[in-house]
Amino acid sequence: MIAVLLAGWSGFEFYHAPEVREQLLWGGFCFFNVLFISFLKVWFWLEMHSNRVLRELKRVELLLEYHSRSVS
């Protein structure tokens, strides 16, 4: 949430900067924050995906255990 606020603030300051040097600094800071937000989203997506795979593996293990007990 902090990175989103910082990206918005730096984007606002970018458009109101009087000199090119200041625009480059604010634009770089905004770009860094947007890049950080995207990396966080990708990381959380990978974490959710790995949890989903582990849950499915546990279901398969339970099914195999259930079927092996019913056969014996």
Read off the pLDDT of residues 35-53 as tens digits, 9 standing for 90 and up.
Answer: 999 999 998 888 777 778 8
Q: Is the pTM of this model over 0.85?
A: no
CA quadruple 41, 43, 3, 20: dihedral, nearest 10: -90
Q: Using DSSP, state whether 72 is helix, strand or coil.
A: coil
Residue 55: Cβ-neighbour burial (10 angstroms; 0-12, 13-18, 19+): exposed
Among candidate residues 30, 36, 31, the one with its CA nearest the CA of residue 6: 30
pLDDT at residue 6 in the model: 92
Reading the block at residue 31, the tokens are 């770009």
Contact 37, 3 (CB under 8 A): yes
Per-domain residue ranges for the chain? Answer: 2-71
pLDDT at residue 18 in the model: 92
pLDDT at residue 72 in the model: 63
Read off the pLDDT of residues 21-34 as tens digits, 9 standing for 90 and up.
Answer: 999 999 999 999 99
